[in-house]
Structure 1
Amino acid sequence: MQQRNKVNIMVIVAMLSSISYLLMLIEFPIPIFPDWLKLDFSELPALIGAIVFGPFAGIAVVLIKNILHIAIKGTTTVGLGELANFIAGVVYILPASYFFRKYRTIKGLTIGLIVGTIAMTVVLSILNYFVLLPAYAHFMHYPLPNKVIVVSIMPFNLLKGILIMVITLVLYPKLKVWLTQRMNVHNV
């Protein structure tokens, strides 16, 4: 029976990864940010996986989504955009998973999503400032001013985190019932 449960979880993680990849393809720019910063909601399936099955399932969804993106669509950022997306996703979902699994309440999930939003904003700002944007500028021979971190990347990640948090909090009560009933997930 336990082997069947592991297979069910792997199938669900694969499904969530596919949905996450498809959501990654539906990206759109926000007029106040540079064109290369595009908003998508591909962290939602990873959040669901992390909340229901634990942090490793969420990390697996984020990893598989980015591998699929590189394998199917390719990369225009020498893989740095996908690396940034992976790091952002992991840093965002880990606190949400931790706080929800610790308290098992919407309040715990909300606290986790707030911490995740702040963590994603701070970590991505630091990584972009010191590592990712300098590496991108080096590989692409395209200089990027450091002020782009403050005026673009920080507010973009903050907005993205807040939007995903709101959508998650609206969808989660319905998804919890569906996952419990339809997929025999008893550890919600």
Structure 2
Amino acid sequence: MNNKKLRRMILIAVLGSIGTVLMQFNFPLPALPGFLKIDFGEIPAVLAVMTMGPVAGIGVELIKNILHWFFSGSPTGVPVGEIANFTTGMLFILPIYFIFNKFRTAKGLTVGLIAGTVAMAVGMTALNYFVFLPMYTYFLNFPPYTGNALYTVVVLGILPFNFIKGIMLMLISLLLFKSMKKWIAQQRTQLMA
């Protein structure tokens, strides 16, 4: 195995582990459903897509969620929350990669982060409506959300939650980019070339 591949694998593993730790420091937002919790575990995946590309970002998200499930377990017995978090991460980081890859500036990153936030908020709203909330209620043996309750949880809870989460991730990512711009460019040159 050549040195570049080994460095990439080590960096993906380290970023995935950092993402797992960041997931542990989660917190709910007032006035939104308590099961929705903000965490900053997507930040290492954002760094991965900026320095190594989309496969690395997916790897970070995968490691982060597998380790989180391994250490924290799941109230359903099935990693529904981790699957939802992985999906959230994909919806957030892939637009960042495609836009930042074309425009490697703070402006390009900002546009990518905005696109990622919109994709995450809209995508997770639809996926929670059709997939994740029904999975939770099924595996927890709760009565399914229907009618106004489902609308309230999805449109008045999940949609604004993901927009707020995306904005918070955007601000942190931009601050990190500003302070780590040289390192990101250096890593990108060494690991992507």
TM-score grouping bracket, smaller chain normalisation? over 0.9
**What is the letter of the counterpart of residue 75 of structure 1?**
S
- The answer as to whether partners of 2:51 and 2:191 remain within 8 angstroms in 1 is no
- Percent of residue pairs identical: 46
Tell me, what secondary structure is at the counterpart of 1:64?
A: helix
TM-score (norm 2): 0.90
In the TM superposition, structure 1's runs of 4+ consecutive aligned residues that sit over 4 Å from their partners are 179-184
Aligned residue number for residue 44 of structure 1: 43
Tell me, what secondary structure is at the counterpart of 1:32?
A: coil
Question: Deviation per CA, 1:113-160, whole angstroms, max 9, x where unpaired?
Answer: 111100011111111101110121122122333120011000000100
After TM superposition, give the deviation of residue 72 of structure 1 in Å.
1.5
Aligned residue number for residue 86 of structure 2: 86
Matches within 5 A, 1:22-33: 22-33=21-32
Aligned residue number for residue 57 of structure 2: 58
- The answer as to whether partners of 1:13 and 1:60 remain within 8 angstroms in 2 is yes
Aligned residue number for residue 166 of structure 1: 171
After TM superposition, give the deviation of residue 18 of structure 1 in Å.
0.6
Aligned residue number for residue 176 of structure 1: 181
Rounded to whole Å, the distance in 1 between the matches of 2:188 and 2:116 is: 27
Question: Deviation per CA, 1:64-107, whole angstroms, max 9, x where unpaired?
Answer: 10000111111124211111100000110001011111111111
TM-score (norm 1): 0.93
Aligned residue number for residue 150 of structure 2: 146
- The answer as to whether partners of 2:50 and 2:188 remain within 8 angstroms in 1 is no
Q: Return the match for 2:161 from 149, 156, 160.
A: 156
After TM superposition, give the deviation of residue 173 of structure 1 in Å.
2.3
Task: Note closer, same or farther for the CA distance 1:129–1:172 as it changes in structure 2 (3 Å cut).
Answer: same
Tell me, what secondary structure is at the counterpart of 2:62?
A: helix
Structure 2, gaps ≥5 residues long: none
RMSD: 1.9
Tell me, what secondary structure is at the counterpart of 1:75?
A: coil
Rounded to whole Å, the distance in 2 between the matches of 1:181 and 1:105 is: 14
More contact order relative to length (CA 8 Å, sep ≥ 6): 2
